[in-house]
Structure formats: structure tokens, C-alpha cells
Amino acid sequence: MKMTEVKLVAKELGVKPGKLKKEDLIRAIQRAEGNPECFNTQFSDRCGQPECLWRPDCDK
């Protein structure tokens, strides 16, 4: 997902992107959603959320 799309998702949730890097912004979105902040971490391969919006970028 492109950064502009990530920022739109953030805006919908009331998360201000500021100058956050993509992975930090996605984790902030995950936090706002009440989900584990697992994007692109050592935990991401076993997070148990195969339908996650971020999965395609996380698996790269």
C-alpha cells in the first residue's frame, strides 16, 4: 500500500501522520484500532491475522 493510502486510513481513524515513517504510522493505526502493533516486527509472522489490511506489505 502506498503512503498516501496509509495516510487516508490514518485520517479516518483520527491518527495524525505527521512525519512518521510508513511502518511507524501503520503501527499507530494498529494501536488506534486496538490491534497488536505487529507490522513488520519479529511477531508479524505469527500474529494470527491473515486478513489484516497490512499483510501484503508485512510479508514483503
Total number of domains constituting the chain: 1
Burial readout 5-16 (b: 16 or more C-beta within 10 A, e: otherwise): ebbebbeeeebe
How confident is the model at residue 30, as a pLDDT?
Answer: 94
How confident is the model at residue 48, as a pLDDT?
Answer: 81
How confident is the model at residue 58, as a pLDDT?
Answer: 84
Q: What is the pLDDT of residues 27-60, one digit of tens each?
A: 999 999 998 899 988 887 788 888 889 988 887 7
How confident is the model at residue 28, as a pLDDT?
Answer: 97
Task: Decide which of 21 and 58 is more confident.
Answer: 21
pTM above 0.95, yes or no: no
**Domain residue limits at 21:** 3-58
Query: Any idea of the CA torsion for 38, 27, 5, 52, to the nearest 10 degrees?
Result: 30
Q: Which three cell numbers stand for residue 40?
A: 513488520
